[in-house]
């Protein structure tokens, strides 16, 4: 066999090796984001994207698991924008901050928890209409 | 049916805010002329009810959730423009204070639910009322759910076409009309029946309470 042919065969073998996939199993600490509907039903198997703050390319994309969870291993400390959506128009966009050795804190959270929010909202609406009522009475008199 | 932030492109929500601002101003002027102290407590109560209904999500088979709105109840009992303002107030409170629905999407949500939902409900009720009062109220509730759902599905479904990068990747909501129309319309067409019953029973209760209060 001629030397050039032998070299070509060797090159082909290297190229074939490059298509091999390897796997490695390890444990690492991840940020776990749980997404639910208002009634606590998991936002399951829906799409999400996580972007570094100001970045246009996502650091991670995928779908939530059956419990509506996303496991995210931030490549570095910083702020991350999480976008998630379903085909029927449900979704959410929020930011979270991850640091070294700190518990990540989700931001843009609502001010009150669910039941408190409902009561506060009703009180606000009735209060606004009360003010409107005073205005009407004043106008009449 | 509340669209959150990040789903709509500025090409969508900025014109929607322009249109909604003009219509809010018109509605406020009209309300100032027509509202009286006798109707105000009832309007306050039904607006508060609409807020509660929109905050209570009902689980659907398949993992999604829906909620009633009270749009038709407001439209039938207080008129389209008043319903538009009341629903806009509810949506604004939810978006600004409680993180339900997006601030950027507020105008689209208000136009779809508050204005077009109310107008559709009122028209359906007026068209069928001479024939059958109960059917008219149920139909009003149903269309108040289906018409806004169709508009929301359309607005979502055109996002990939109007806002994408050079490679054609959607920058905002990623699914087209073929996905959004069935995904949004089918559950809301079913929920519309519940909204219809709510409109009928709500209107009945409201009439009785108003009569009792008048006596």
What is the per-residue pLDDT across A12-70, written as a single tens digit (0 to 9) for each? 665 555 678 888 898 888 899 999 887 778 898 999 999 998 888 889 999 999 999 99
> Is residue B55 a contact partner of residue B28, using CB atoms and an 8 Å limit?
no
What is the per-residue pLDDT across B43-53, written as a single tens digit (0 to 9) for each? 999 999 999 99
Within a domain: A10: no
Q: Which two tokens stand for residue B206?
A: 């409201």
Residue A103 has pLDDT above 60, yes or no: no
Q: Which two tokens stand for residue A71?
A: 């496991």
What's the average model confidence in pLDDT over B191-201? Answer: 94
A6 — pLDDT class (breaks 50, 70, 90): confident
Within a domain: A20: no
Within a domain: A39: yes
How many domains, in total, are found in chain A?
Answer: 1
Indicate yes or no: CB of A87 within 8 angstroms of CB of B180: yes
How many domains, in total, are found in chain B?
Answer: 1
Residue B113 has pLDDT above 80, yes or no: yes
Indicate yes or no: CB of B6 within 8 angstroms of CB of A91: yes
Within a domain: A13: no
- Nearest by Cα to B7 from A63, A61, A83, A51: A83
Within a domain: A83: yes
Minimum CA–CA partner of B60 in chain A: A41
Cα B90 from Cα B104, distance rounded (Å): 15
Indicate yes or no: CB of B55 within 8 angstroms of CB of A108: no
Within a domain: B193: yes
> What residues of A are in contact with residue B98 (Cβ under 8 Å)?
110-112, 117, 120-121
Within a domain: A16: no
Q: Which residues of A75-107 are buried (b: 16+ CB within 10 A; e: fewer)?
A: eeeeebbbbbbbbbbbbbbbebbbeeeeebeee
What ipTM was reported for this prediction? Answer: 0.83
Q: Angle at which helices B80-98 and B71-78 pack, to 10 degrees? A: 140
Cα B90 from Cα A27, distance rounded (Å): 47
Cα B62 from Cα B67, distance rounded (Å): 15
Within a domain: A70: yes
Predicted pLDDT of residue B211: 77
Within a domain: B2: no
Within a domain: A74: yes
Over chain A, what is the mean pLDDT?
Answer: 82
Indicate yes or no: CB of A88 within 8 angstroms of CB of B180: yes
Concatenating the DSSP letter of every residue in B120-188 gives HHHHHHHHHTTT-HHHHHHHHHHHHHHHHHHHHHHHHHTHHHHSB-TT--BSS----HHHHHHHHHHHH
Q: B144: distance to nearest CA of chain A, Å?
A: 18
**Residue range of the domain that includes A104:** 28-109
**Residue range of the domain that includes B139:** 10-214
Indicate yes or no: CB of B180 within 8 angstroms of CB of A121: no
Q: What is the CATH number of the domain that holds B103?
A: 1.10.1760.20
> Does B150 or B59 have the greater pLDDT score?
B150
Cα B115 from Cα B148, distance rounded (Å): 9
Within a domain: B3: no
> What residues of B are in contact with residue A119 (Cβ under 8 Å)?
none
Q: Is A128 on the interface with B (CB under 8 A)?
A: yes
């Amino acid at each position: 066999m001629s030397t050039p042919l032998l070299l070509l065969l060797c090159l082909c073998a290297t190229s074939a090796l490059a298509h091999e996939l390897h796997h490695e199993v390890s444990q690492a600490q991840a940020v776990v984001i749980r997404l639910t509907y208002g009634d606590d039903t998991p936002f399951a198997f829906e799409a999400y994207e996580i972007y570094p703050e100001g970045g246009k390319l996502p650091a991670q994309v995928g779908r939530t698991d059956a419990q509506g969870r996303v496991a995210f291993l931030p490549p570095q400390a910083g702020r991350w924008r999480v976008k998630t959506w379903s085909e029927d128009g449900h979704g959410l966009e929020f930011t979270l901050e991850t640091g070294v050795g700190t518990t990540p804190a989700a931001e843009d959270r609502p001010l009150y928890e669910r039941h408190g929010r409902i009561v506060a909202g009703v009180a606000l609406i009735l209060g606004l209409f009360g003010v409107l009522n005073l205005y009407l009475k004043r106008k009449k008199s | 049916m509340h669209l959150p932030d990040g789903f709509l492109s500025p090409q969508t929500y900025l014109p929607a805010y322009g249109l909604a601002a003009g219509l809010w101003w018109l509605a406020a002027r009209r309300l100032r002329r027509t509202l009286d102290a006798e109707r105000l407590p009832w309007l306050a109560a039904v607006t508060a009810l609409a807020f509660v209904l929109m905050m209570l999500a009902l689980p659907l088979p398949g993992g999604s959730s829906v909620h009633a709105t009270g749009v038709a109840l407001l439209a039938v009992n207080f008129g389209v423009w008043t319903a538009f303002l009341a629903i806009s107030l509810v949506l604004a409170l939810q978006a600004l204070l409680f993180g339900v629905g997006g601030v950027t999407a507020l105008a689209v949500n208000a136009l779809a639910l508050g204005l077009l939902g109310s107008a559709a409900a009122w028209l359906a009720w007026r068209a069928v009322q001479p024939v059958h009062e109960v059917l008219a109220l149920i139909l009003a509730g149903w269309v108040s759910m289906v018409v806004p759902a169709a508009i929301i599905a359309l607005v979502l479904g055109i996002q990939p076409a109007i806002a994408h990068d050079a490679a054609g990747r959607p920058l905002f909501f990623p699914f087209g009309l073929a996905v959004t129309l069935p995904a949004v319309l089918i559950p809301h067409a079913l929920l519309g029946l519940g909204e219809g019953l709510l409109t009928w029973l709500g209107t009945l209760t409201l009439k009785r309470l108003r009569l009792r209060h008048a006596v």
